[in-house]
Amino acid sequence: MNKRDSIAPQPILLRDYVVPAFLLDRVDLTFELDETSTRVSSRLVLHRNPDHPVSDADLVLDGHELMLESVLLDGEPMSTDRYDVDDESLTIKGLGESAILEITTRIEPQKNTSLMGLYKSNGNFFTQCEAEGFRKITYYLDRPDVMTRFTTTIIADRSKYPVLLSNGNRVGEGQYDRNRHWVKWVDPFKKPSYLFALVAGKLSCLQDSFTTRSGRKVALEIYVEPQDLEKCHHAMESVKRSMKWDEDVYGLEYDLDSYMIVAVSDFNMGAMENKGLNIFNTKYVLARPETATDADYMGVEAVIAHEYFHNWTGNRVTCRDWFQLSLKEGLTVFRDQEFTADMTSRAVKRIDDVRTLRTAQFAEDASPMAHPVRPDSYIEINNFYTVTIYEKGAEVVRMYHTLLGAEGYRKGIDLYFKRHDGQAVTCDDFAAAMGDANGFDFTQFKRWYSQAGTPVVKVVSQFDAANQTYTLDISQTCPPTPGQPEKLPFHIPIALGLLDAAGAEIPLQLAGEASLQGTTRVLQLTEASQRFVFTGISAQPTPSLLRGFSAPVKLDYPWTRQELAFLMAHDSDSFCRWEASHTLIREVLLELIAAARASETLSLPGELVDAMRRALLDEAADPALIALMFTLPAETYLADQVDEIHPDAIRTAREYLRVALAKALRSEFKHTYARFCGATQAYRYAAVDIAKRALKNVCLGYLTSLDEPAFIELAQTQFQQANNMTDSQAALAALVELPQGATALADFANRWQDDPLVMNKWFTLQAMDKRADALDRVRALQQHPAFQITNPNKVYALLATFCSSNLAGFHRADGAGYAFAAEQILVLDKLNPQVASRLARSFNRWKKLEPTRRAQAKTALEKLAAHADLSRDVFEIISKNLA
């Protein structure tokens, strides 16, 4: 019988939520860690939940891939006819008002390649429990609204596992038989199981401390493999900066005596906020100038901040159910974005975040996987750790901030903690706190949580010289998404300004207002269409719209190229200056793509060259901003801007523009490169230096695309002499597709073969190769000794990069890319469904492909769908793609 027909995975629905039948007073866990099997004993003190609708409901404990050894009820062994065990659960019938259950199970962490639950990496033990990994450790009420106090005793071989860690405070330790030792931990805070963590192994520790503003001294500890100890200083500084910032900006202090971070190289995502014991992908801890780029340094700082901030937004106040995931993730991303903005450059950070949102989240919103910030159904929750939940969720929180102002937002946050500290709550509770603290009605605003899709905001302007008015007619629409054919209007904050002919800001007054009210205004669009009239406008202005990207929407306004060039030069809002360049470049690229498809001659518009030249030569401007202006939009982003995707035309157009700009601005690039070339001699992680390196390396990229020996030599020299990875990687990237690239790649691999994080960069660069044989290169690289299919970072660096970012390489006309992806997805699905499912998303654009490729992709998807034993993770992606 076909498994799919009989038990196709069923969706879980938000509307089916019921409170748990039982609650926990406490849980005591004992782990006996061993090489062949690990024994987990748990003692659960339970009582019936008076709020549950059924007074004699069964106790259903979640459990998966466990070997049950024994069950004791109130100290007595239970006979096997009093409980049922299946693949997913342990069900106990006929319990009274309260019970003490002692359950012993065995697991085999050394065989666990899914990296969920308890697993081994480089000989050490780690856990990952969010979202539903705890059920792979022991039978439990594995849902976030069951919160309790945990104690954890770990017993393990003293030589192999000298370090034994869990959540909370270390309250005891001692020796045991057979060269074993034990450590006992008590976590004083109630928490759901997804925040449980355990680590055991040979790890070195970097120690420091932080004194909170109320004067408590917190021990800070970062645990890594011994060879990495010297790469932890930046992470440690980031922890201290995060702790200080959360006190200053949110009034939030740390609450335990110690804060531990452990780095592990096998990890499905970035990091995990387990109470008092965060576990991190090494990628977000380890950094030193020779091995980490500026982007890596920023990544470490942002992820450290993110996980630290979760201690309040996630742990102290957690989610009632997984549909509310954005309650903690969207809010915490917004917090880490603002932290980074305060630590580095606000404008650059905003542009970076908007680029991610547009490239990844807008794409998701337009795909078969589109879902609201608060989904109402899922098959596998692991599939919902998405850019929509995280990044769009952060935009939603940012809009509260924009609508309420910094003070009003803080009032709302204070009320949220006052009401809900220690609770598991919903997005509605968050909105209610924001609204109640400010007397603001967020009823309509909450549609941002329930309606998927990216709204389109269309603006039509009209200047009336006789009446000295400037009228904006603003309307909104939102395309249909799966299950949501029609949308209601969103509540959209639109920040804007108007520039006069000299580029100066015009003070603004709306019809009906008594006075001028500043130069940037936040309009609130709540209707399908609305009119806004500015008075006292004496000459045709240039509108600067959606300042700071005040809402996650697509803006439709018919700027002329002259106006865009004018905004690039004059807008006081840095985001909008960059945005004008982006709009101009996008329009040019869309014309070039159309021309490439029609096999017409491509040409570079003079307005673009002039505007870009002016930007490049503006020595007063922030070099980081100029670097971003010259960073062309990704091929995948362009694919989302056209009605039918012709990958080769997109690549041709984008490469043409790159080389044409290089030719047109050859001497300016050369001059700018020289200007910054020696400017950052001794490496410093500081925004000013990062900006200079960024612009210098952008120039190098353009110059080498000219294929002139002098510029290739420039790249080679930079590659050989670089004292930091930013410059080294940029030079390698500039060389990689040239005949000289092979030697550079070999030198790089030779130097860094023992550093897995650096080798990831080497794989990624080659996965992005634009030459026709990219797929063959990727296949060959899978045989490289540094590649391991069981390591998620390696799979992301090589396979996911190729399939999801190398547009023309993956979408080869012959379908070989699709066949390759399908083959890899099946291999990975047996090892690690979460990673396999991420790779499966590479097909998300398939319906917009030109007919030949569309047919090839469909065939590959259908072949995958025919496999009866897909994980829920991959099944959900494939079935939604085919729906």
What gap in Å lies between CA 606 and CA 664, rounded to an integer? 10
> β-pairing, 22-32 with 148-157?
parallel
By a kind-dependent CB cut-off of 5 to 8 A, residue 268 interacts, out of ligand TRP, Zn ion, none, with ligand TRP
Q: Which of the stretches 70-78, 119-127, 267-275, 689-697 binds ligand TRP when contact is defined by CB under 6 A?
A: 267-275
Asked if residues 313 and 335 have their Cβ atoms less than 8 Å apart, the reply is yes
Using CA atoms, how far apart are residues 96 and 79, in angstroms rounded to an integer?
17
Q: How far is the CB of 306 from ligand TRP (least distance, A)?
A: 6
Asked whether position 268 contacts ligand TRP by CB under 6 A, the answer is yes
φ and ψ of 492, to 5 deg: -120, 115
3-state SS string for 472-538:
EEEEEECCCECCECCCCCCCEEEEEEEECCCCCECCCCECCCCCCCCCCEEEEECCCEEEEEEECCC
The amino acid that residue 451 corresponds to is Q
Nearest Cα neighbor of 151 from 120, 196, 121, 114 is 196
108 is known as an active-site residue: no
Task: Count Cα atoms within 13 angstroms, Cβ side, for 231.
Answer: 25
Determine contact, residues 268/279, Cβ cutoff 8 Å.
no
Stretch that binds ligand TRP, among 96-104, 268-276, 415-423, 667-675 (CB under 6 A): 268-276
Q: Report yes or no: 20 and 192 within 8 Å, Cβ to Cβ.
A: no
C-alpha 742, offset from chain centre: 33
One of 130, 132, 307, 395 is an active-site residue; which one? 307
Q: Which of 269, 456, 523, 642 binds ligand TRP (CB under 6 A)?
A: 269
Residue 307 or residue 622: which is nearer to ligand TRP going by CB?
307
Q: How far is the CB of 196 from ligand TRP (least distance, A)?
A: 13
- Pick the stretch among 51-59, 92-100, 264-272, 496-504 that binds ligand TRP (CB under 6 A): 264-272
> Radius of gyration over alpha carbons of the chain, in Å?
28
User: Taking every pair of C-alpha atoms in the chain, what is the biggest distance, in angstroms?
Assistant: 94
Residue 286 to residue 266: CA distance in whole angstroms: 14
Q: Which stretch binds ligand TRP (CB under 6 A): 89-97, 126-134, 708-716, 861-869?
A: 126-134
Q: Identify the CA nearest to 186 among candidates 270, 122, 269, 275.
A: 275
Looking at the Cβ atoms of 393 and 489, the one nearer to Zn ion is: 393
Near Zn ion in 318-347, by CB under 5 A: 329, 332
What token pair was written down for 851? 């007919």
Residue 128 binding ligand TRP, by CB under 6 A: yes
Kindly state whether residue 626 participates in binding ligand TRP, applying the rule CB under 6 A: no
Name which of 690 and 835 has its Cβ closer to ligand TRP: 835
Q: Which is nearer to Zn ion, 534 or 796 (CB)?
A: 796
Question: Minimum Å distance from CB 379 to ligand TRP?
Answer: 16
Amino acid at position 460, single letter: V
- Per DSSP, the residues of 327-381 read HHHHHHHHHHHHHHHHHS-HHHHHHHHHHHIIIIIHHHHTSTT---SS-SEES-G
| Residue number with CB closer to ligand TRP (310 or 398) | 310
Contact 609, 664 (CB under 8 A): yes
Positions 388 through 417 that interact with ligand TRP (CB under 6 A): none
Per-residue tokens: 772 = 């026709």
Q: How far is CA 514 from CA 500, 518, 535, 579, 707, in A?
A: 22, 13, 11, 32, 62
According to the binding rule CB under 6 A, does residue 235 interact with ligand TRP?
no
4-63 residues near ligand TRP, rule: CB under 6 A: none
The nearest distance, CB 439 to ligand TRP, in angstroms, is 32
Binding status of residue 270 toward ligand TRP by CB under 6 A: yes
- Candidates 262-270, 480-488, 665-673, 868-876: pick the segment binding ligand TRP (CB under 6 A): 262-270
Quick one: what does residue 385 bind among ligand TRP, Zn ion, none, with the CB cut-off 5 to 8 Å set by partner type? ligand TRP
Question: Among Zn ion, ligand TRP, none, what does residue 271 contact (CB within 5–8 Å per kind)?
Answer: ligand TRP
Q: Which of 271, 370, 389, 589 binds ligand TRP (CB under 6 A)?
A: 271
In the bound complex, what is the minimum distance in angstroms from residue 390's beta carbon to Zn ion?
Answer: 7
Residues 312-331 that bind ligand TRP (CB under 6 A): 329
Which residue's CB is nearer to ligand TRP, number 282 or number 481?
A: 282
Cβ distance to ligand TRP smaller for residue 332 or 581: 332
Reduced to 3 states (helix: H, G, I; strand: E, B; else coil), residue 97 is coil
Q: What x-and-dash track marks residues 352-391 binding ligand TRP by CB under 6 A?
A: ---------------------------------x------
In 3-state terms, what secondary structure has residue 69? strand
User: Which of 303/698 has CB closer to ligand TRP?
Assistant: 303
Q: Give the sign of the dihedral formed by CA 124, CA 127, CA 133, CA 136.
A: positive
Judge whether 790 and 266 are in contact, CB under 8 Å. yes
Residue nearest ligand TRP, CB atom distance: 269
Interface with ligand TRP, residue 130, by CB under 6 A: yes
Closer CB to Zn ion, 332 or 729, in the complex: 332
138-to-30, 116, 144 alpha-carbon distances in Å: 11, 13, 16
Return the sign of the alpha-carbon dihedral for residues 713, 714, 715, 718: positive
Interatomic CA distance for residues 544 and 568, integer angstroms: 10
Asked if residue 273 binds ligand TRP (CB under 6 A), the reply is yes
Number of residues that bind ligand TRP (CB under 6 A): 14
Please count the residues of this chain forming the interface with Zn ion, following the rule CB under 5 A: 2
Which of 208-216, 269-277, 787-795, 836-844 is the region at the interface with ligand TRP (rule: CB under 6 A)? 269-277
- Binding segment (CB under 6 A) for ligand TRP, from list 123-131, 173-181, 516-524, 707-715: 123-131
Q: Does 121 bind ligand TRP (CB under 6 A)?
A: no
To the nearest whole angstrom, how small is the minimum distance from the Cβ of residue 165 to ligand TRP?
Answer: 17
Options 272, 564, 612, 645; binder of ligand TRP; rule CB under 6 A = 272
Of the pair 151, 318, the CB lying nearest Zn ion is at 318
> Minimum CB separation from Zn ion for residue 530, in Å?
36
What does 239 interact with, of ligand TRP, Zn ion, none (CB < 5 to 8 A by kind)? none
Beta bridge partners of 219: 209, 258
Phi-psi region of 252 (alpha: psi -120 to 50; beta: other; left: phi over 0): beta
Per-residue binding string, ligand TRP, 642-681, x by CB under 6 A, is: ----------------------------------------
What tokens appear for 224 in the block?
């890594």
- Beta bridge partners, 184, equal 153, 172
**x/- binding map, residues 276-315, to ligand TRP, per CB under 6 A?**
------------------------------xx--------
**Binding window for ligand TRP (CB under 6 A); candidates: 261-269, 285-293, 661-669, 723-731:** 261-269
CB of residue 203 vs ligand TRP: minimum separation in angstroms? 19
| Residue nearer to ligand TRP on the CB measure, 312 or 385 | 385
Pairing assessment for the beta strands 148-157 and 124-128 based on DSSP bridges: unpaired
270 touches which of Zn ion, ligand TRP, none (CB within 5 to 8 A by kind)? ligand TRP
Are 719 and 732 in contact by the 8 Å Cβ rule? The answer is: yes
Query: Residue 221 CA to chain centroid, in angstroms?
Result: 25
Angle ∠(355,359,361) on CA atoms, nearest 5: 105
Q: Which of residues 434-453 bind Zn ion (CB under 5 A)?
A: none
The position carrying tokens 């954005």 is: 326
Tell me if 88 sits within 8 A of 64, measured CB to CB: yes
Binding site for ligand TRP (CB under 6 A): 128, 130-131, 267-273, 306-307, 329, 385
Active site residues: 307
Binding site for Zn ion (CB under 5 A): 329, 332
